[in-house]
Amino acid sequence: MAVSSDSHVDEGDLKVLYSPSNGPADLDIVAVHGLGGDASATWTYPSKGSNPPILWLRDLLPQKLPNARIMTFQYNSQILSNTSKYSVRENSAKLLQILTDLREDDEAEGRPIVFLGHSLGGIIIKQALRIATPLIAKQSPYSDISTSTKGLIFFGTPHRGADGARWLTLVTNITSSLSPQIKASPFVKALQTHSEELFKITQDFRLLTDNYAIISFYEQDVHPILGDVIVEKLSAVMGLRHEEALMLGGDHSGMCKFMGMTDPRFNTVWRAIRRASKGKRF
């Protein structure tokens, strides 16, 4: 039975798109959108003619993984005139808090978790797992998230950053400089190549990578305005020994939108999620 709603998703909200109707779920799947994205639109193939839009996390994935509970996390990721001053760490902590609360309420502690992260969403997931992992002689209130996470699926996540102008082009479809009156989100600075914040997150997360199955998809197609990819393969792939690095059709925004069950990209992705749910394999 699908659980869905067309109501507004508040900032810092976790929305359950699908939950099994025949008993408890055996897997939690949590999708986190990227810069300028949305908890639903990021994962939705737009309507074409008489065909309705397809939110594949709700409309397709349950047919392949019927015993999984599928959720999306909403946070304020506006790239321009951002109304939130908070960046990666605060949003990562919010994700941990509400996911932990939900799993406690459902007595789902210990249930395996697979995280899906598009672009900036992957950075937020990495930071969340770093916060959740207890350090020596310390405790974490989110240790269940750390120990229950089996796999991570990244879609165009800029582990090494990308040129700031590319992020602005992605959202505004312009390549000219911003007006001085328009303020860019703190995320733009955080995602740029050579960003100190991004470097720190990446270095800290490398200490944890052996705990998870990791599948990194990099974009195949160029952005129609920029004429190049938003996140280069070198940045989208971490270069880990056990990491699966796979090219996926579509530009940076379209790589996680699937047109239906017959879309070969969906076939690739749902199988990757199933593999990741089993944890690190090699």
- Residue 6's pLDDT is 39
Residue type, 178: L
Q: Which residue, among 111, 113, 82, 69, has the nearest Cα to 190 in the 3D structure?
A: 82
pLDDT by residue, tens only, the chain of 282 residues: 344 433 333 446 999 999 999 889 999 999 999 887 899 999 999 998 888 999 999 999 999 999 999 999 998 876 655 555 667 888 999 999 999 999 999 999 999 999 999 998 999 999 999 999 987 557 789 999 999 999 999 999 999 877 655 555 555 554 444 444 445 555 656 666 556 777 888 888 989 999 999 999 999 999 887 788 889 999 999 999 999 999 999 999 999 999 999 999 999 999 999 999 999 776
Q: Report the distance separating Cα 108 and Cα 94, nearest Å.
A: 19
Residue found by looking up tokens 């406690």 in the block: 104
Contact 120, 166 (CB under 8 A): no
Cα-based distances in Å from 145 to 93, 158, 224: 12, 23, 38
- Can you say whether residue 258 is alpha, beta or left, with left for phi > 0 and alpha for psi between -120 and 50 degrees? beta
Task: Parse the chain into domains and list their residue ranges.
Answer: 13-276
Burial 161-183 (b: 16+ CB within 10 A, else e): bbbebbbbbbbeeeeeeeeeeee
- Domain at 13-276, CATH class: alpha beta
Contacts 24+ apart (CB under 8 A), 42-49: 42/118, 42/121, 42/253, 42/256, 42/257, 43/72, 43/118, 43/256, 43/257, 44/257, 45/257, 45/258, 45/259, 45/260, 46/257, 48/259
Rounded to the nearest 10 degrees, what angle do helices 88-105 and 120-132 cross at?
Answer: 70
Structure tokens at 237: 């792939």
Residue type, 116: L
- Residue 5's pLDDT is 38
Q: Tell me: the pLDDT tens digits for 212-258?
A: 999 999 999 998 877 888 899 999 999 999 999 999 999 999 999 99
Specify the 3-state DSSP secondary structure of 159: coil
- Residue 173's pLDDT is 54
- Residue 49's pLDDT is 85
- Residue 48's pLDDT is 87
